[in-house]
Amino acid sequence: GINVWCAAGKGTFSTDALVRTIAQTSLDTIVRHRTLILPQLGATGVSAHAVQKRSGFLVAYGPVQAADLPSYLENRQATPAMRRIQFTLQDRFILLPVAFVRLLLPVLLLILLGAKGPAAAILAGTVLFPILLPWIPTHAFSMQGFILGGVVALPFAVSALFESPALALWLRSAWALVYALLLPPITAFLPLHYTGCTPYT
């Protein structure tokens, strides 16, 4: 599913790669038929008519989910449900480690140094964003991240404003402003890496 879509978008699952693999494996000498069933999400990288012209193999696009392949093979017809991309919560959970693992050490360091606001902004951009993706307004990931970052920044800004009444109001306001201006861009930046992992855009 998603891996095929990413590979097709990046050119590693492409017309050239497919034709090259057919030639390298001498597929025409291994099978009698001349039809390749490709995952539907690979269609962005593969030109069916170019593959047929260059290799002699006809390309048919199968269902989105591999689990639907047996039903598809019965009559080579995909139902509308087989063509629909769901991108469920489970699908999004699978992608969480990809985004989070590379930022785990910086998050731990920020927490140890007492910088809980930036750590929360990073966690929001890498963990909360994929989970809440369908429910955050707008489809632009940067704007969704900015909205989520604003929600994350709010308790830190309010805390900075009211936590130490002995400090001058201008100083407390400045700290609140730092949280309000710093955290949303951090959270907004991280979902941009997510664009290559999702068919949601």
d(CA 199, CA 201): 6
The predicted model gives 6-16 an average pLDDT of: 80
CA count, 13 A, side-chain hemisphere, 142: 2
Give the whole-angstrom CA distance, residue 14 versus residue 23.
14
Q: Convert the pLDDT of each residue in 159-174 to its tens digit.
A: 999 988 889 999 999 9
Spatial distance between the Cα atoms of 123 and 72, rounded to a whole number of angstroms = 40
Model pLDDT for residues 118-163, shown as the tens digit of each residue: 999 999 999 999 889 889 988 888 899 999 999 999 999 999 999 8
d(CA 29, CA 195): 40
Residue 1 has pLDDT above 90, yes or no: no
**Single pTM value for the model:** 0.69
pLDDT at 22: 95
- Domains of the chain, earliest start first: 2-83 (3.40.50.11600), 89-197 (no CATH)
DSSP 8-state code for residue 137? S
Q: What is the pLDDT of residues 17-65, one digit of tens each?
A: 999 999 999 999 999 999 999 988 888 889 999 999 999 999 999 898 8
pLDDT attached to residue 55: 95
Burial of 79 (0-12, 13-18, 19+ CB in 10 A): exposed
Rounded to whole angstroms, the Cα distance separating 123 from 100 reads 8
Alpha-carbon radius of gyration of the chain: 24
CA-to-CA dists, residue 52 to 12, 17, 30, 108, angstroms: 19, 14, 17, 52
DSSP state letters, 35-82: EEEE-GGGTTT--HHHHHHHHS-EEEE--SSGGGHHHHHHHT---HHH
